[in-house]
Amino acid sequence: MSKTPPQAPPCTPTLPGFTCGLDATLRVVAGKWKPLILYFLAQGGPTRYGELRRAMRDVSDKMLIQQLKELTADGLVKRTDYREVPPRVDYALTPLGESLAQALVPLCTWGTDNLAEVTRVFARREASASREERPASE
């Protein structure tokens, strides 16, 4: 028995509109930046918009704002607008958001632990990607 399905994890099938709990979660955190935002907020505590923005490089204003809005609407983060003269706003996790951030920790750990393999994977992907673009030799 080389592979023994260890034990049935809590992936209850036949839920309302979801395939399973994982499916439900994934739909909530779908979006290029949401998990990162959650995780970021989980580490630094309440954070101002600009800080977040600078911390997560490669994110555009539009995207960050949009994702923050959704997370807020979904009750995962709380937005505080101090209604000051130069605008000041900060974002913090709600309890719900915090619990989700906790659930993300193993993924982060996995990524760090297997960074070597992941890096190789991406090297391969990009290699084949560029091969497709230039069918003719270098």
The residue ranges that bind DNA (CB under 7 A) are 30-32, 48-50, 53, 58-63, 65, 68-69, 79, 81, 85-89
Sheet holding 89-93, edge to edge: 47-48, 89-93, 77-81
Q: Where are the alpha helices (DSSP H) in 15-94?
A: 21-28, 34-44, 49-55, 61-73
Place of tokens 């991406």: 122
Nearer to DNA, 9 or 111 (CB): 111
Q: Determine, following the binding rule CB under 8 A, whether residue 108 of this chain makes contact with its own copies.
A: yes
Residues of 24-34 as b/e, b for ≥16 C-beta within 10 angstroms?
A: eeeebbeeebb
d(CA 102, CA 123): 30
Contacts to its own copies from residues 44-73, by CB under 8 A:
44-47, 51, 56-58, 73
Are 72 and 79 within 8 A, CB to CB?
yes
Size, binding site for its own copies by CB under 8 A: 64
**The one among 27, 54, 69, 88 contacting its own copies by CB under 8 A:** 27
d(CA 11, CA 136): 47
124 binds, among its own copies, DNA, none (CB under 5 to 8 A by kind): its own copies
Q: Determine, following the binding rule CB under 8 A, whether residue 35 of this chain makes contact with its own copies.
A: yes
135 binds, among DNA, its own copies, none (CB under 5 to 8 A by kind): none
Strand partners, 78: 92
Residues that bind its own copies (CB under 8 A): 3, 5-6, 8-12, 15-28, 35-36, 39, 42-47, 51, 56-58, 73-75, 92-93, 96, 99-100, 102-115, 117-119, 121-122, 124-125
